[in-house]
Each structure stands twice: as C-alpha cells, then as structure tokens.
Amino acid sequence: MFKPIRIVKKVPNVDFFRFHKLCFALSAFMCIASVVSLATLGLNFGVDFAGGILIEARTPAAADLADMRTRINNLDLGDVALQEFGSNRDVLIRIERQGAGEKEEMAAVAKVRDALGAGVEYRRVEVVGPKVGAELIRGGILAVTLSLAGIMAYMAVRFGWRAGLSGVIAILHDCLTTVGFFSITQAQFDLNVLAAVVTIAGFSINDTVVIDDRIRENLRKYKSMDFRDLINRSVNETMARTVVTNGLVFLAVVSLLILGGPVLFGFSMAMTWGVVLGTYSTIYVAAPLEWYLAGRGSHHRHPPGDEAPAAATP
C-alpha cells in the first residue's frame, strides 16, 4: 500500500495571535492607502472600460499574435490588446479610443487594415463608447456586492454571524487592496482583472470556511479551552492543507505571470497578489476578528444552538 505524502508531518504550534495588532495596523494602512490612491489617481482602465475600437479578424493561416501586435503598436494608436478566440485563425483586436469623433476612429481602423496587409478578413468592426464602459463598471460592482452578500449569508447560517462578518471583512480587505494595488501601480485594469478580483473573493472565503469548520469541530471537542487558544489551534491544525493548496495555486499563478504573455499578465498579477494576501487575511484578519467579535473571552465557546452538556449528577 502507498503511504500518503505529508508535507507538514506534525501539527505546528505557532502563536498566530502574537502579532495580530501589528497585522491589523498593516491591513488598515493598506486599505487606507488603497482608498486614497483610488480617490486621487483612480484606475488605469483598459479598452473594456474606457471604450475604444473592437475588431474581429480572421487570418488566412494560424495567427501570429506577436507579429500582429508589433505591427499595430508601430502605428502609435495607444493601448492595444490582441487575443485568440475560437480557432487559431480568429483574433480579437482592442484599441483605445481615438479622439472624440467617428472620423478619428475610422482612420485608426484604416491604419490597422494597411498594417496587417491583404488576406485578412474583417468580420466585425465596432466602436465601444464610454457608456458601455460605465455599464460594465456598474455591473462589476454589482456582481462583487451580490457575491459578498451571498457569502456573508452562507457563513452566518453555517457558522454564526461572527464568522460571517469577519469573513466578509477579510474578503473586502483582499478585494480593496487588490484594486488599490492596480491604482497605485497604474497597471491596466480590464475585465480580466475584474474576473481575478471575484476569483480572489472565492479563494479567500474558501480558506476561511475550512478554518471555521475546524473551529466548530474543536468547540465540541475542547469545551473548556479558551476561545483564543481554540482558534489558534484550529489554524495550526489546518496549516498543512493551507500550505499545500495555496502553495500549488501560487505556483500556478506565478507560472502564468511569467509565461502567460501580455493578454494574461493583468489577471495573473492580480491573482498572485490575491493568493498571498488571501492567505494572510484568513489567518491574521478573519481569525483574530472572530475572537474580537466574541468579546476576546472564553464565554463564547459554543456555536449557535450547541450548548455544553449539563454536568452529570452523581
């Protein structure tokens, strides 16, 4: 029989609460810096949100995206994004808005046609206005808001309102600082990055659910243990799972960051930041917050509806 491979061979005994005040201060600083940057610098929106030209082209043979990107970039039309869709002959080209009128947009389309040469079939040419970008922004905010509300409701029903509130605060922390990171660095923010932000929310709450499930299990096993020590023990007991799962995800997104190319660069950069921050916030934000919401005492040891058994009578 094969023996299971154990990355962490024994349960560690790390006091994760030792530096929780310092971590709270660090998280508060990152959140404030993100809000200030969003208010002053804003986001460097890509074509999806800022508007621009959308061209759907089909090449005679397999498309050479690198060559096509070089040719269009030489036209000095601003931000350009190319990606395959469907077959390897179909290419979607996005170019930022060219002035305020249709004349400038059509002149840019003509330059692209000349640069790509004959033989390319142009199946669709559209101009994406700022109104569409504004609708996408509103839709993205609504999607994130509804997902947070659903997560909080699920966590509150399954683990109690303290776990639900602390989990959502940790997710807001991750999403806000991720968007703030793109604001501070002025990296391009497009639909791929928005998809990464929603993915980060799911990734973060996944870790929190695992730890809260272990907390609920330990509440029944260690009825006299102080709540702070019980949470700390639960985090340590799930550390092997955290190291393996989050470590593998981190390796995957770093590979995308290095080898994924310009199309996936924004997504992979957001995911790399989010994996690190999501792991940190689960341990150093969500878990200590749950302890604080419980009054930092040992009198909140029992989950809702699970009271300690009465003492046996002789």
Query: How many angstroms separate the Cα of 11 from the Cα of each of 6, 236, 239?
Result: 11, 6, 8
Q: How many CB atoms neighbour CB 270 within 10 A?
A: 26
Domain coverage including residue 277: 20-42+133-293
Considering the domain boundaries, does residue 5 fall inside one?
no
Alpha-carbon distance 217 to 151, whole Å? 21
For 143, counting Cβ atoms within 10 Å of its Cβ (0-12 exposed, 13-18 middle, 19+ buried), the class is middle
Quick one: how far is CA 240 from the chain centroid? 22
| pLDDT above 60: residue 300 | no
Considering the domain boundaries, does residue 302 fall inside one?
no
Q: Which of 92, 111, 128 is the last residue of a domain?
A: 128
Residues 111 and 179 both lie in one domain: no
Alpha-carbon distance 294 to 165, whole Å? 12
Per residue in 132-169, pLDDT (tens digit) is 667 777 887 888 788 878 887 888 888 788 888 888 88
pLDDT of residue 100: 61
Considering the domain boundaries, does residue 229 fall inside one?
yes
| pLDDT above 80: residue 131 | no
Q: Which one-letter DSSP state was computed for residue 92?
A: E
Please tell me the pTM assigned to this model.
Answer: 0.74
Rounded percentage of the chain residues whose pLDDT exceeds 90: 13
CATH of residue 73: 3.30.70.3400
Kindly report the average pLDDT of the chain as a whole number: 80
| pLDDT above 80: residue 249 | yes
